Structure 1
């Protein structure tokens, strides 16, 4: 039975994403094109693979069985095709990265332009979101995450700054009006601009000084989605609405301009920088290998982890 590989890819994308629209977002195809491809595949096989409603799409039992077998098979096909890349003068193909919004804003801008200039035959797709996803299920080759969010059996390579801090800040006018906190617990009496992850978890406001760690359950007039609406919280802080807690690198331009003033700086907590991570059980595609090598050579770090040693995950 002859089946178009593109139709199989379309089915996998829709089944893994749980919908035609989300599948289209991950693949760059149109939702209608994916729908036609899946219908064509079902007609060819003579069996329904997806149950469709106006609100959701889910694999049938036959679809689930096919998906289980297709995943490893497609990985092998891609690996076999990628062998050809070894005969090219320059790596070519598409590299898909799944990254948090903070990495897209604070880490990748210092890397991507030079990488694309060095490898003009590589097309880079960056999917920025703050939900914790399986990079393979999302159709990506690799991801960027922080240490506590790495999955098991993943290989990790340091990328970007190796040490970062979370910073608290507010507009000078707000602090003149409400007072300047001297201890993290003083934040309980302030208007705090909070964030919430797509999972529903609230961002933690954690501070540390001389071995003392203080977690503050802040409240305030504004709650935003982490990543997608973070800039709204920054704008609100600049306008004097309240105190914001965010990556120091994100807020630094506003410190320099005077739009925001650091709050509780001696208490700002340090944490290790992000990692580029990818599955260790499959052949590394040529575009990803080029990116890994570029990251290692352009930003050498004494804390680099070797490719040959998968990094244990801590969940997340």
Structure 2
């Protein structure tokens, strides 16, 4: 098979897994049009349509799904063969593909990736930030990041950061007008700003003190999938907001926000990098795991 054929097959696999040309292009740092042309070239060569394209989605046809199922292990074997050669290098090369929650992409990885990339100039990192729970290996990622309660039992997990915590915050002006809740149940009497994940779900606000756990679902004055909008609204006095302390650290330090019920919001275990427990690890992933162990 010619090199161009193999490259086009690789592109098809990437687009089919990402369910879109733009998503695959963003991961690879190339134009969506170049990926589209590669898939069209492959379809013309094979004489069959491989992807159904609409304005909203890209999905494999029956023929495309069959090809994807056969290609995935073959491409994995090729990657493994190349990576075994990579092990003989003084410094690893290749691409590390990570699937992480948006909070990790925003507040944890910015502290880690610049140092890791400086140590390993031959490694490139592709990060997909999303809050839905997928099979990261089936989707073509080397590893994922999740919190303790979401970890698969058959995966190896390595701490990515130290403990984190939620805080309940509002602006000084809001507290001056509406008072401060003295107990978690008092929150139900306040205007609240809530976050909704891309899946459509919104988690209950959980409080814990002296072994007592209280979960509440306050009525939202504002609901959003965008943390920056939520933070701006909170600083403007719209209502109470429960979120990661890292998200509001600057606003708290500057006095634009104040926290309440701190004794009901203890720290919890931070996120973990997780990956399959296999004998051979891709060199970029092994380098990242070793790097995380030195960061503890």
Q: How high is the TM-score relative to the length of structure 1?
A: 0.87
Residue 190 (structure 2) aligns with: 190
Q: Please report how far the alpha carbon of residue 276 of structure 1 lies from its aligned counterpart in structure 2 after TM superposition.
A: 0.5
- Tell whether the 8 Å contact from 2:28 to 2:126 is kept in structure 1 after alignment: no
Give deviations 1:41-87, integer Å, cap 9, x for gaps: 12222222223334433222221111111111111110100111112
Give deviations 1:76-126, integer Å, cap 9, x for gaps: 110100111112111112222221121122222222222122112222222
Distance 1:14 1:282 in 2: 28
| Partner secondary structure for residue 270 of structure 1 | coil
Residue 145 (structure 1) aligns with: 146
Equivalent pairs counted in the alignment come to 295
Distance 2:56 2:288 in 1: 38
Q: Please report how far the alpha carbon of residue 186 of structure 1 lies from its aligned counterpart in structure 2 after TM superposition.
A: 0.7
Residue 18 (structure 1) aligns with: 19
Distance 1:138 1:147 in 2: 21
In structure 2, the CA distance between the partners of 1:139 and 1:51, relative to structure 1 (3 Å rule), is same
Q: Which moved more, 1:136-145 or 1:255-264?
A: 136-145
In structure 2, the CA distance between the partners of 1:26 and 1:125, relative to structure 1 (3 Å rule), is closer
Residue 240 (structure 1) aligns with: 237
- Tell whether the 8 Å contact from 1:13 to 1:27 is kept in structure 2 after alignment: no
Q: Does 1:288 align with 2:289?
A: no
In structure 2, the CA distance between the partners of 1:25 and 1:257, relative to structure 1 (3 Å rule), is same
Residue 113 (structure 2) aligns with: 112
Q: How does 1:300-311 map to 2 (within 5 A)?
A: none
| Partner secondary structure for residue 166 of structure 2 | strand
| Partner secondary structure for residue 120 of structure 1 | coil
Distance 1:100 1:41 in 2: 34
Q: Please report how far the alpha carbon of residue 138 of structure 1 lies from its aligned counterpart in structure 2 after TM superposition.
A: 3.8
In structure 2, the CA distance between the partners of 1:216 and 1:270, relative to structure 1 (3 Å rule), is same
Residue 165 (structure 2) aligns with: 165
Give deviations 1:23-45, integer Å, cap 9, x for gaps: 32333332221221112112222
Distance 1:230 1:18 in 2: 25
Distance 1:214 1:54 in 2: 44
Q: Does 1:261 align with 2:258?
A: yes
Q: Which has the higher contact order (CA 8 A, sep 6+)?
A: 1
Give deviations 1:264-284, integer Å, cap 9, x for gaps: 111114321110012224731
Distance 1:260 1:107 in 2: 22
Structure 2, unaligned runs of 5 or more: none
The one of 249, 270, 276 aligned to 2:246: 249
Give deviations 1:241-296, integer Å, cap 9, x for gaps: 11110112322322222111111111114321110012224731111111100101
Residue 132 (structure 1) aligns with: 133
Distance 1:53 1:112 in 2: 36
- Tell whether the 8 Å contact from 1:91 to 1:287 is kept in structure 2 after alignment: yes
Structure 1, unaligned runs of 5 or more: 300-316
- Tell whether the 8 Å contact from 2:146 to 2:273 is kept in structure 1 after alignment: yes
Residue 62 (structure 1) aligns with: 63
RMSD over equivalenced CA pairs, Å: 1.8
- Tell whether the 8 Å contact from 1:158 to 1:274 is kept in structure 2 after alignment: yes
Residue 295 (structure 2) aligns with: 298
- Tell whether the 8 Å contact from 1:157 to 1:275 is kept in structure 2 after alignment: yes
Distance 1:262 1:52 in 2: 48
| Partner secondary structure for residue 99 of structure 2 | strand
In structure 2, the CA distance between the partners of 1:282 and 1:69, relative to structure 1 (3 Å rule), is farther
